[in-house]
Structure 1
Amino acid sequence: MSARVGMLDDVAAERLGLADDLADLTPDAWSTPSLCPGWTVHDVVAHLTLSTRQSVPWTLWRVARAGGDLERAFADMARERAAAFRPAELLVQLREMAGVDRRLAMSGELDPLNDLLVHSQDIAIPLGRRRDLPVERALPCLRHVWAAPCVGAAKRFAGLRLRASDADWSAGEGPEVCGPVGALLLAANGRVAGLGACDGDGLATARGRFAS
């Protein structure tokens, strides 16, 4: 089963832009640990090439094989694909799939774009590279993940108010955490690095949520 991709033009632009950004990486850079614990840059790119290739039955089988642990299943699939394809081959695949209007049916229509925006930072930040998160792409994803129970953003920041400094968006009640939409998107997806661009009287509490 497959489904249509939300904001496909933006997804295509992100895939092509990321492939261009990574074209000059050295072998050592491809082996750099990403912001995803236990994943290298190579693993993250391999994961991104799976988006149009996964089927629901195959994914459910892999989750079952991982003892019901979805994160472990995705990590296993990413590492296996990284072992099977060289970096240059994965970049070719990323370009070839740029405008493919297909996603895993058990995912949300904005999940492919959210995945790309967040994983691009999982790669760029450890490499010391800058990759912008355009507000017009990041804001719909932030709204999406805040409302998605499986992401757990609203639960993680319960008792706090998150407010964007560069867009008309806020959510939650309590001491405030304020920052750019891109930074809040990273934090909402479980990346403490996103809080580095934030401030507010709720920031220390927010950081503590990640530490615990």
Structure 2
Amino acid sequence: MPVETPVLDDLLAETAGLDALVAELEPAAWGRETPAEGWTIAHQIAHLAWTDHRALLAVTEPEAFAREFDAAAAHFDTYVDDGARQGAALPPGELLARWREGRDRLSEALASQPKGVRFRWFGPPMSTASMATGRLMETWAHGEDVADTLGVRREPTARLWHVARIGVRARDFAFSVHGRPAPAEEFRVELTAPDGSLWTFGPDDAAQRVTGTALDFCLLAVRRRHRDDVRLEAHGPDADAWLSLVQAFAGPPGDSRKPSRGAAG
């Protein structure tokens, strides 16, 4: 039987929100520089379309994805940027249509998968839910770049729970890609959700803790804000270190935004 998971609906909602930001843009606006150095709005959407296509290969054509994986390993430093650059060269209307078609095909493919299946990916193998969650996280993160460029403030939603959960679960990975051993003990993470409720992760009696808003944690975990520009509190030296290197995505350490002010306060 096909897997049923709410994250697929949340992924559709997240992509629809970003689509609404770019659908009516004039062609010239697609060339506006975003906070990601060297990336325009077109690069942001092209990257999402490019990654959706790789995810679709992983789900439906594992042998073709294996070839993509080998190609990525051969020149990983430029692999992602090359894909974004190629897509960004397309006319905006064609790029938008490509992104829409690819994400729709991926959503349909994920929805049709049997329970328990796992797909090879650039990081650890992915289940249907984890693949959808990863796509949601990346769509939200790149959507933040677009929103910042357009001067739009997006209202945070309950969909941030998926992003926060990835950030928490990737704690040990974040330490490892920075060449540091993962802490032996679990952390307690308490985040205020957009509706004012509390999202909690980890044992309630953990000595090391992180508290703050879900939005700030997610912005930090996808490296869209500098630590000095978010209101998160760490209790314990390892928890404090984690907030300086947290990341919710696979791959090498992500660059953090430069601070917009001297210190949190």
CA distance in 2, matches of 1:164, 1:42: 33
1:30 lines up with 2:30 in the alignment: yes
Q: Deviations over 1:49-68 (max 9, x none)?
A: 123322323432432342x4
CA distance in 1, matches of 2:37, 2:96: 22
1:125 maps to 148
1:59 maps to 68
CA distance in 1, matches of 2:5, 2:40: 26
1:187 lines up with 2:220 in the alignment: yes
CA RMSD of aligned residues (A): 3.7
1:89 to 71, 81, 94: 94
CA distance in 2, matches of 1:208, 1:60: 30
Q: Deviations over 1:13-72 (max 9, x none)?
A: 222221122123234432223233332211010011123322323432432342x43xx3
Distance change in 2, residues 1:182/1:20 (3 Å): same
2:212 maps to 178
What does residue range 73-152 of structure 1 map to in structure 2 within 5 Å?
73-83=79-89, 85-100=90-105, 101=107, 102=109, 105-106=120-121, 108-109=130-131, 110-135=133-158, 137-148=159-170, 152=174
Higher normalized contact order (CA 8 Å, seq sep 6+, divided by chain length): 1
Point out where structure 2 has 5 or more consecutive residues left out of the alignment: 58-64, 111-118, 246-255, 259-265
Point out where structure 1 has 5 or more consecutive residues left out of the alignment: none
CA distance in 1, matches of 2:139, 2:8: 12
**Contact 1:15–1:94 (8 Å) recurs in 2:** no
What's the CA shift for 1:86?
1.6
**Contact 1:146–1:153 (8 Å) recurs in 2:** no
3-state SS in 1 of match to 2:14: helix
Mean Cα displacement is larger for which, 37-46 or 101-110? 101-110
CA distance in 2, matches of 1:98, 1:117: 14
Distance change in 2, residues 1:11/1:20 (3 Å): same
1:164 lines up with 2:197 in the alignment: no
**Bigger radius of gyration, 1 or 2?**
2
The percent of aligned pairs where both chains have the same amino acid is 23
CA distance in 2, matches of 1:26, 1:75: 24
Query: How many residues are paired up?
Result: 202
